[in-house]
């Protein structure tokens, strides 16, 4: 009956979102039926003194795994709903670039470590932005470079088109990576706002305009504003196509949804502005932070201020083109996010701002609870596969993790969990791509399905590696904040 109802809703509506909602409701019904059945079995087992402790442990692990994944699907569904409402509200608005009520001075900082391949295009794009030249100060930081990054910077600034612009090159030889470079730039900055662009992030012509426009809506409360980043080498290979889908979903679904529903923003590390006086009041960026963007985002929320979203502000950044570069970039991000979660976990239980609590809960679930649940479910699956293989040669060996043979309710629940995860994954990508001109294609749907079984599974491996690395850093007093540079490619 449940499967028939799901099929009927799909045929009548032809709508993937309705499919997802129906699946979710059906899964809930099945789940509670399973719970009732399991409770009845436990009562019977208790009175008959059957089904020992091992059985109860295996059943408990199964239930914990299923419920955890079910909760993650609930959060994903809520996020997707918020994003859909956001785009229904904003997609019909006409975007204009009328003069602003004021043009605050912005100091743009570009930290660059051995970026000679990409820094020229980024520098030109920044200097060509649609913002009064007299209100832009540009600080290009050649951070411990061993190539010709500084020379390329100077060549651009000394050219006829830009020789009279307020721009300088600072060759830095200190430590601290990007955080150290930003703190050094803070001492030199004279603007009302500090804007940050990575060396490979080419801003669109109106990127800074839209950031400032959003900040001026409430200058006192909105101390930071962030835009979105697009993959400029998305068509290079299968990996960059997958990364492109991930970034589009993150910024067109997740960022839009949480800003729309909760007025929560997450600084993405590039293409953002932040009030200089606020950064100075908190002592700058925290030394040793691997993900300085997430770290300062929590600091802003703890102050009760907002990080606003300027969804029309865009920058085009280069993504890793090899699996090796991708892996170590994401490993650094994962370690940094784990550090931020541990650093802020106590805020779940104190009198911190509710946005801090919500973000801490979200990050804790994403990077600890849900990851652990997925790993647990994978281990359960592998244990059952191994036991099934042994059972072929020794019939006395039974499956260690099962609710009993012939339980159709459990089979239905597992099937619905699997279908729901795939549908939500593909649905998020499809809706996110629909918000971009020319990207909502059939090939993107097939790419999403291929990425689900390949690319997205890498996150589990990276997460486990990151946790082990963070623990080892603490046990052996290693410097876990070593910056691994992402290799660039000429384009």
The Cα–Cα gap between 372 and 359 comes to: 19
Q: What pLDDT, on a 0 to 100 scale, did the predictor assign at position 392?
A: 86
Q: What pLDDT, on a 0 to 100 scale, did the predictor assign at position 18?
A: 42
Domain boundaries, the chain: 2-91+364-475, 106-322
Superfamily name with CATH number, domain 106-322:
Spore Coat Polysaccharide Biosynthesis Protein SpsA; Chain A (3.90.550.10)
Sheet holding 306-317, edge to edge: 167-172, 136-143, 106-112, 193-196, 272-275, 222-231, 306-317, 202-203
Between residues 207 and 44, which one has the greater pLDDT? 207
The answer to whether residue 404 scores a pLDDT higher than 90 is no
The Cα–Cα gap between 234 and 243 comes to: 8
Q: In percent, how much of the chain has pLDDT > 70?
A: 83
Average confidence score pLDDT of the chain? 84
The Cα–Cα gap between 293 and 285 comes to: 9
Q: What pLDDT, on a 0 to 100 scale, did the predictor assign at position 19?
A: 43
The answer to whether residue 194 scores a pLDDT higher than 90 is yes
Global pTM value: 0.83
Burial classification of residue 148, based on how many CB atoms lie within 10 Å of its CB (0-12 exposed, 13-18 middle, 19 or more buried): middle
Token pair in block for residue 309: 């979203």
Give the pLDDT confidence of 286-322 residue by residue, as tens digits.
887 778 888 899 999 999 999 999 999 999 999 999 9
Give the pLDDT confidence of 21-71 residue by residue, as tens digits.
444 444 454 444 444 444 444 444 444 344 445 566 666 776 777 777 788
Highest mean pLDDT among 48-52, 175-179, 192-196: 192-196
The answer to whether residue 121 scores a pLDDT higher than 50 is yes
Query: By the 8 A CB rule, do 78 and 17 touch?
Result: no
Least confident segment among 95-99, 150-154, 472-476: 472-476
Highest mean pLDDT among 28-42, 133-147, 351-365, 434-448: 133-147
The count of other CB atoms within 10 Å of the CB of residue 211 is 27
Q: Which residue shows structure tokens 């690319």?
A: 455
Give the pLDDT confidence of 415-426 residue by residue, as tens digits.
677 778 888 888
- Cα 396 to Cα 1, 94, 325, 370, 392, distances in angstroms: 36, 70, 48, 34, 10
What DSSP character marks residue 224? E
Between residues 460 and 417, which one has the greater pLDDT? 460
The Cα–Cα gap between 234 and 319 comes to: 8
The answer to whether residue 249 scores a pLDDT higher than 60 is yes
Token pair in block for residue 471: 């623990």
Q: What pLDDT, on a 0 to 100 scale, did the predictor assign at position 13?
A: 34
411 — pLDDT class (breaks 50, 70, 90): low
List beta partners, residue 170.
141
Q: What pLDDT, on a 0 to 100 scale, did the predictor assign at position 8?
A: 35
Q: What pLDDT, on a 0 to 100 scale, did the predictor assign at position 58?
A: 66
Q: Which of 281, 237, 274 is nearest to 447 (CA)?
A: 237
The answer to whether residue 169 scores a pLDDT higher than 70 is yes
What are the φ and ψ backbone dihedral angles of 49, each rounded to 5 degrees? 55, 45
């Amino acid at each position: 009956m449940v499967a028939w109802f799901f099929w009927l809703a799909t045929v009548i509506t032809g709508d993937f979102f309705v499919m997802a909602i129906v699946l979710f409701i059906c899964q809930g019904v099945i789940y509670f039926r399973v719970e009732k059945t399991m409770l009845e079995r436990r009562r019977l087992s208790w009175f008959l003194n059957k089904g020992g402790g091992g059985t109860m442990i295996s059943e408990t692990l199964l239930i914990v795994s299923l419920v955890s994944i079910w909760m993650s699907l609930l959060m994903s569904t809520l996020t997707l709903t918020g994003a859909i409402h956001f785009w229904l509200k904003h997609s019909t608005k006409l975007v204009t670039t009328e003069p602003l009520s004021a043009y605050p001075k912005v100091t743009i900082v570009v930290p660059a470590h051995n970026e000679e391949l990409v820094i020229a295009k980024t520098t030109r794009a920044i200097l060509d932005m649609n913002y009064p030249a007299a209100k832009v100060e540009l600080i290009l930081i050649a951070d411990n470079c061993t190539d010709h990054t500084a020379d390329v910077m100077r060549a651009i600034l000394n050219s006829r088109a830009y020789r009279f612009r307020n721009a300088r090159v600072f060759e830095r030889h200190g430590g601290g990576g990007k955080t150290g470079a930003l703190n050094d730039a803070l001492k030199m900055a004279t603007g009302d706002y500090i804007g940050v662009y990575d060396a490979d992030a080419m801003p669109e012509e109106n990127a800074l305009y839209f950031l400032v426009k959003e900040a001026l809506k409430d200058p006192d409360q909105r101390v930071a504003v962030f835009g979105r980043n697009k993959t400029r080498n998305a068509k290079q290979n299968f990996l960059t196509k997958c990364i492109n889908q991930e970034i589009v979903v993150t910024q067109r679904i997740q960022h839009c949804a949480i800003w729309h529903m909760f007025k929560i923003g997450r600084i993405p590390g590039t293409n953002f502005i932040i009030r200089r006086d606020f950064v100075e009041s908190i002592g700058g960026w925290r030394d040793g932070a691997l993900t300085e963007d997430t770290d300062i985002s929590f600091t802003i929320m703890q102050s009760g201020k907002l990080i606003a979203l300027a969804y029309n502000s865009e920058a085009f950044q280069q993504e890793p083109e090899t699996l090796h570069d991708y892996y170590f970039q994401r490993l650094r991000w994962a370690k940094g996010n784990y550090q931020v979660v541990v650093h802020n976990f106590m805020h779940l239980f104190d009198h911190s701002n509710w946005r801090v609590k919500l973000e801490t809960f979200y990050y804790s679930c994403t990077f600890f609870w849900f990851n652990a649940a997925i790993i647990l479910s994978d281990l359960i699956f592998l244990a059952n596969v191994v036991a099934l293989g042994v059972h072929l040669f020794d019939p006395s060996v039974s499956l260690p993790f099962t609710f009993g043979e012939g339980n159709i309710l459990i089979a239905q629940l597992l099937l619905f969990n699997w279908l729901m995860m795939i549908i939500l994954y593909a649905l998020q990508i499809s809706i996110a791509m629909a918000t971009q001109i020319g990207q909502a294609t059939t090939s993107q749907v097939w790419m999403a399905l291929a990425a689900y079984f390949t690319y997205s599974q890498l996150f589990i491996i990276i997460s486990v590696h990151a946790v082990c690395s963070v623990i080892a850093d603490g046990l052996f007093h290693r410097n876990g904040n070593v910056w691994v540079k992402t290799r660039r490619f000429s384009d």
